[in-house]
Structure 1
Amino acid sequence: MTLSIFPMDIPSAFAHKWLFDDITCQVYAMCGVLFSMCSLTNLTALSSVCCLKISFPNYGNRFSSSHACVLLVAIWCYATVFAIGPLTQYIMSCTVIFLSYTFILLTVHRSRRAIQQHQSTKNKTTNAHSLIVKLSVAVCIGFLGTWSPYAITAMSAAFIDTTLVPPTAFAVSAIFAKSSTVYNPTVYLLCKPNFPIHFYRLKILLILDLHNRYTS
């Protein structure tokens, strides 16, 4: 999205008009829909995999890296084929994501009630469950926050006179929707238990690299 859309989007925004030809406009629209849908479908698949591993472990534990590769290929094929129906894709992904995280939260709630009866393993399992709950809530909030303005604007333009929707609304809603590609990986990264350790190691490596450059 950064390589295919922003180089055309940014100069056109400053010029207050489209600076390229009609064919480039069609390519721009196709890339925007394709990458946005692919990102949204990735979130849908990720929530489903999390749901399988937590709520249905008998099936989720069979999920391997080869399954993940096949799933990613299927996601890209799905996004490519159905890129012409973004409104339906929003509705479908939203439903799957919320159902998946609902199952996860219900499973976590039942597990915590069971843990209260077995105090010996309470601390370790409770911490893992708390992490899953925080992750699920953060992803759901991020999904609503990034895609709701786009959905509202798109539906308003579809069912109301397009001239009544200001151009600023289209621009701001698109920015929010595209920010999901940054928000969700950041949430998963920050929620990793060993993230501070890796971040500290990376900081040390950067300092050593800078020191070696200046001393050499």
Structure 2
Amino acid sequence: MNSTSIMIKTTHNESTSTTINITNYESTSTTINITHNESSYNMINSTHNESVSRWNLASEDQDFGQSWINLVVGCILLTTTTLSIFTNGTCLYIFFIKRRSMLTRINSYIAVVCILAFTKAIIGYPMVISSSFAGYWLFGDAGCMYYGFLMTTFGLCTMFTLSLISVDRYLMVVLCRFNGLSINSFSISAISGSILLSVILAMGPLFGWNKYVREGLGTTCSPDLKLTDALSRSYLTVLMIVAFVLPLAVMAFCYWKIFSKVMETRKNLFPGNKHTDTPMSMTRKKNINLEIKLALTLVYIVVTFLLCWAPYSVTMIWAIVDAKSLTPLLISIPSLVTKLGSCFTPLVYMGRDRKMRRVVKENFECLRSETENIISNQNEIVRPAASNVNTLSTKAHTKTKSSCNQEKMSKRSKSSAKTGLGQTINETIV
């Protein structure tokens, strides 16, 4: 039996060379020389350090750019949230406190949309604003699921409610199913059903059908758009069809039928475009014009909402087709645009409804006069003879307040004497 031994000899000299001798005593001797050149080592080390430095610099630039984007997003959301609270809060104040008579069946749907937007602005958007300014999500996984579920539920419910408005108008104008403006069992059942359906769909990611994750820049949460498994994609597909395609088709059909019916009635009342001046014809003409105006107002509300949600819908389709190509910025921008829609509904409604504008104007005028009286009273108190002046200013304040109330009562009586929008639209198609 032949024995084999291996000898390894390492020598470091001044030229930093290493020699490894492997000797097989029975056969031949093999020598492997491994030489480390100091200059090449320095060059490799320098190249490595330069690559690391460039990588660190790129990372710092990316973090710096992302921090600026988060700051801009936070400022935009802060402005949007403030405007949403103010506009939606004004509509809710008028509907439920100041003028409950305006809470008709159609306005009840508008009130639901305002409640959803107001609630999102109060308990949802502050989480994204604070996270945007911090640069990362502040509320952990539990907060992410809470926020994702909340926003998904409110978004779905808003879309379904806008669809219910079109269905309600279709049943009333085209099919003549409803008489009057009061809230009926259909509107209550429809609103309750839309809320229930929204909650059921939003609970899917909580039970494994997709999941709520940090999206985009990592400062907000939503259903995961980048999952590639069939189950997760099926959730996005169902969400796309049920929450966007079907409501859009229903609204397009209903408003097309409404406009067709109104224009047909107008043509039958005034054949050959010959308008008469009888009181009955003038009333009919006014009712038709009011019906057209109301339908256009509702269409404007729907269009603005759909425009805000269209980018996110395109992103969802993109995620279904090719989720891997989505970048954080491409996901963040549509998500930001959807949040801008929360303040448009009350703005469009107040801009189109003359009665709502009049009520808002009256309340702000009274608020301004009362504020001016309070300021004048405070200024008078610091002057000499404060007791006498205070008495006079109090009387002036009482007089101004009573005059403000009298002015509101007179305007209210005048408006009730006239045929309002909400009372005449029901006589359009008889």
**Same-fold status (TM-score > 0.5):** yes
Once residues 98 and 207 of structure 1 are traced to their aligned partners in structure 2, the CA distance between those partners, rounded to angstroms, is 43
The structure with more strand, counted as a fraction of residues: 2
Once residues 101 and 178 of structure 1 are traced to their aligned partners in structure 2, the CA distance between those partners, rounded to angstroms, is 26
Task: Quote the offset at 1:129 in angstroms.
Answer: 3.4
**Aligned match of 2:130:** 11
The amino acid across from 2:266 in the alignment is R
Q: Are residues 70 and 133 of structure 1, via their aligned partners in 2, closer, same or farther at CA, if it must alter by over 3 Å?
A: closer
Count of equivalent residues: 214
Q: Are residues 95 and 30 of structure 1, via their aligned partners in 2, closer, same or farther at CA, if it must alter by over 3 Å?
A: same
Q: Are residues 180 and 139 of structure 1, via their aligned partners in 2, closer, same or farther at CA, if it must alter by over 3 Å?
A: same
Once residues 148 and 51 of structure 1 are traced to their aligned partners in structure 2, the CA distance between those partners, rounded to angstroms, is 24
Q: TM-score with structure 1 length normalisation?
A: 0.86
Once residues 133 and 71 of structure 1 are traced to their aligned partners in structure 2, the CA distance between those partners, rounded to angstroms, is 20
Task: Quote the offset at 1:166 in angstroms.
Answer: 3.0
Matched, 1:29 2:148: yes
5+ residue gaps in structure 2?
1-119, 205-237, 378-430
Once residues 63 and 204 of structure 1 are traced to their aligned partners in structure 2, the CA distance between those partners, rounded to angstroms, is 29
Q: Are the aligned partners of 2:262 and 2:288 in contact in 1 as well (CA < 8 Å)?
A: no
Once residues 181 and 39 of structure 1 are traced to their aligned partners in structure 2, the CA distance between those partners, rounded to angstroms, is 10
1:68-147 matches, cutoff 5 A:
68-83=187-202, 84=204, 85-88=238-241, 89-117=243-271, 119=276, 120=278, 121-122=281-282, 123-147=285-309
Alignment partner of 1:149 out of 286, 311, 326: 311
Once residues 346 and 246 of structure 2 are traced to their aligned partners in structure 1, the CA distance between those partners, rounded to angstroms, is 21
Task: Quote the offset at 1:72 in angstroms.
Answer: 2.1
Alignment partner of 1:61 out of 145, 158, 179: 179
Q: Are residues 156 and 16 of structure 1, via their aligned partners in 2, closer, same or farther at CA, if it must alter by over 3 Å?
A: farther
Once residues 66 and 141 of structure 1 are traced to their aligned partners in structure 2, the CA distance between those partners, rounded to angstroms, is 27
Q: Are the aligned partners of 1:146 and 1:176 in contact in 2 as well (CA < 8 Å)?
A: yes
Matched, 1:183 2:302: no
Alignment partner of 1:198 out of 341, 352, 359: 359
What is the alpha-carbon root mean square deviation over aligned residues?
Answer: 2.3
Q: Are the aligned partners of 1:4 and 1:31 in contact in 2 as well (CA < 8 Å)?
A: no
Q: Are residues 11 and 134 of structure 1, via their aligned partners in 2, closer, same or farther at CA, if it must alter by over 3 Å?
A: same
Off by >4 Å, runs of 4+ in structure 1: none
Q: Are residues 108 and 167 of structure 1, via their aligned partners in 2, closer, same or farther at CA, if it must alter by over 3 Å?
A: farther
Q: TM-score with structure 2 length normalisation?
A: 0.46
The structure with more helix, counted as a fraction of residues: 1
